Amino acid sequence: MPDPVDPPSSAGVLRRQLWIVRRLVLGLVTLLLVSILVFVATQVLPGDPARAVLGHDATPDRVALLREHLGLDRPLAVQYLSWLGDLLRGNLGDSLVTQESVARLIGDRTVNSAILVLLSAAIGVPLATFVGAVSGRRRDRWFDHTVLAAALALTALPEFIIALILVILFATTAFQLLPGTVLLFPGQNPLSNVTQLILPVAALVLGILPYLARLVRGSVIDVYQSEYVRNARLKGVSEPVVLRRHVLRNALVPAIQGTALALAFLTGGVVIIEQVFNYPGLGSALVDAVNNRDLPVIQVICLIFAASYVVFNLLGDVLTVFVTPRLRTAGA
């Protein structure tokens, strides 16, 4: 068994709280830097947003008038500070194309993407943890070799290839069992027709499964080789108890970190998956906004993705501290 750990002292608790505050501040600074990068990147996109709104037949005078109305003729620094100030006040701006509030435009799509990501994580993370744990427990056996071979094959395939293979197998050529596209009306809950979500969720799950399963497998193998596991076996503790009480608990930290990265991967992966399956989420909205040079929509969606990355990594770090006794008492 691992060495006993003394109860956390008040100094350790204070250090841990200060560490969490530092991580929060670092996350906010990261978001600020990302906001600058996103704003500058959208400004250098090819094409004129005003001309994209008015069309190629618009006269130069109309284009200049619209640029002035939208504030696109102001210095870049002034535009950024005005945009950032609006964001801090909760004003996400209006779409250049539809003149609709960005918050209203992406509201339902944000919920749709969140459902897709959380559903994929709820299936993929436990499945990958189970597969990785069994593979590590049965190291160098047929199950382990099968898992490693499958993981290598899935890792070599891009997400859109996995999605297309699933569509070909289950929605078109081989077996016409599932819908190949998602049909949702505005405001409709995606969970109202779960059948449509099977293929998009499966594509995302297969995207995170190889990485997380191999991570858990390696962690389980390391723990099985530790001294306290050998001592437990010498004391006659059964293998299921060793796995449940000693191995899985101590292999939890890499799994937490891997889950945080997997959630970040899922958040970015929805851009491709939503396009393949015609899913009305943030990813498809981002692609449409880029095609239409709809800068306010692009900026807000990119910030949402960046904030998701920061939040997932922060939660992973905090949970790692709380489940690791020595980090918990030392305050990281």
Domain boundaries, the chain: 1-96+314-332, 110-292
**Three-state SS at 42:** helix
Q: What is the distance between the alpha carbons of residues 296 and 285, in angstroms, rounded to a whole number?
A: 12
Buried residues in 281-308 as b, exposed as e (16+ CB within 10 A): bbbbbbbebeebbbbbbbbbbbbbbbbb
Per-residue confidence (pLDDT) for residue 3, from 0 to 100: 45
Per-residue confidence (pLDDT) for residue 271, from 0 to 100: 86
**8 A C-beta contact, residue 283 and residue 270:** yes
**Three-state SS at 101:** strand
Q: What are phi and psi of 32, to 5 degrees?
A: -65, -45
Tokens of residue 282, six digits? 């943030």
Contacts of 31 (CB under 8 A, 6+ apart): 303, 306, 307, 310
> What stretch of H or E contains 23?
helix 10-43
pLDDT tens, the chain, 332 aa long: 444 444 555 666 677 778 788 888 888 898 899 888 888 887 777 666 766 666 666 677 777 777 777 677 777 788 888 888 888 888 888 887 778 888 888 888 888 988 999 999 899 888 988 888 888 878 888 888 888 898 888 888 888 888 888 888 888 877 778 888 888 887 788 888 888 888 999 999 998 888 888 888 888 888 777 777 777 777 777 777 777 676 777 777 777 878 888 888 888 888 888 888 888 888 888 888 888 888 888 889 988 888 888 888 888 878 877 766 555 554 44
Strand ranges, E, within the chain: none
Contacts of 45 (CB under 8 A, 6+ apart): 290, 293, 295
Question: In CATH terms, is domain 110-292 a member of 1.10.3720.10?
Answer: yes
pTM of the entire predicted model:
0.79
Strand partners, 94: 101
